[in-house]
Amino acid sequence: MTPGYISGKWIKYLAALFVLFSCLILSRAQDHAPAFRVVAFYTERDDQAHISFVHEANRWFPEMAGKYHFTYDSTNSWNDLNPDFLSHYQVVIFLDTRPDSAARREAFKNYMDHGGAWMGFHFSGFALTPSDFPQNWNWYHNEFLGSGSYLSNTWRPVPAILRVEDRHHPATRNLPETFTSSASEWYRWTNDLRTNPDIDILLSIDSSSFPLGTGPKPSEIWHSGYYPVVWANKKYKMIYFNMGHNDIDYEHKANKELSFTFNNRIQDQLILNSLLWLGSGK
């Protein structure tokens, strides 16, 4: 072969090598690209039980992100709840509370109306008038969550036996018919979710849990009734968990953590199933 001259055969061979190398590089990049991006908002204020849960969640979710190839960010700046910031994320989590300003609320509603996904825990559904968290957002509490206002709760935080109501939802995939949850404070609501055709109740408290709670007030111990604790809204890509209140030793002023939320294999699988479903875009 004449020096400086490359035959057409060699050019084709080198071109094929270049294409193969480029495909390998692209495949590697795709293998390492996050499947979806998650951001969690939290307030982390006043109640040590909620603060404990937020700290625990911000340890557990990054561990899951590393195993299941998504990204997890968290922020206590609710000013980030705006269209530009939300456009970078496929899933939003409210670890505690909810936005208060009209602009943030409108940004969140617009995000959900246009295909965004949401996961909420425990206090993110709370609303009580009068209180520091009044029911002054009808779309969120009555249409989106469907639960209305907070009515009462059990005390102390205790585990409950939960029954899977919808065994066909991706969140409940491969869960047993019943299982024992981590300890939590359980809420009762003003609205009966069973009467709302848009609400898909996924789990409720099984009757074998009763009596539930230890008091000391008699009203804080439930002896009967129907109590949904995990549900979805068919009109949105969302799921709400009533879990998210760890037990704290308030009595001895030490604020010692007596229970945790993310230490239950079946409940953890439920939360992980839910997050992977939310992030799937399906």
Report residue 32 as tokens. Answer: 């390492």
pTM for this predicted structure: 0.88
Assign 10 a pLDDT band (cuts: 50, 70, 90).
low
- Tens digits of per-residue pLDDT, 89-108? 999 999 999 999 999 999 99
**Structure confidence at residue 19 (pLDDT):** 46
Domain annotation for the chain: domains and CATH numbers: 38-280 (3.40.50.880)
* Residue 200, pLDDT score: 98
Angle at 232 between CA 229 and CA 236, to 5 degrees: 155
- For 206-239, give one letter per residue: b (16+ CB within 10 A) or e: beebeebbeeeeeebbbeeeebbbbbbbeebbbb
DSSP assigned state of 218? G
Residue 90's Cα: distance from chain center in Å? 13
Other beta carbons within 10 Å of 245: 27
pLDDT at residue 16 in the model: 53
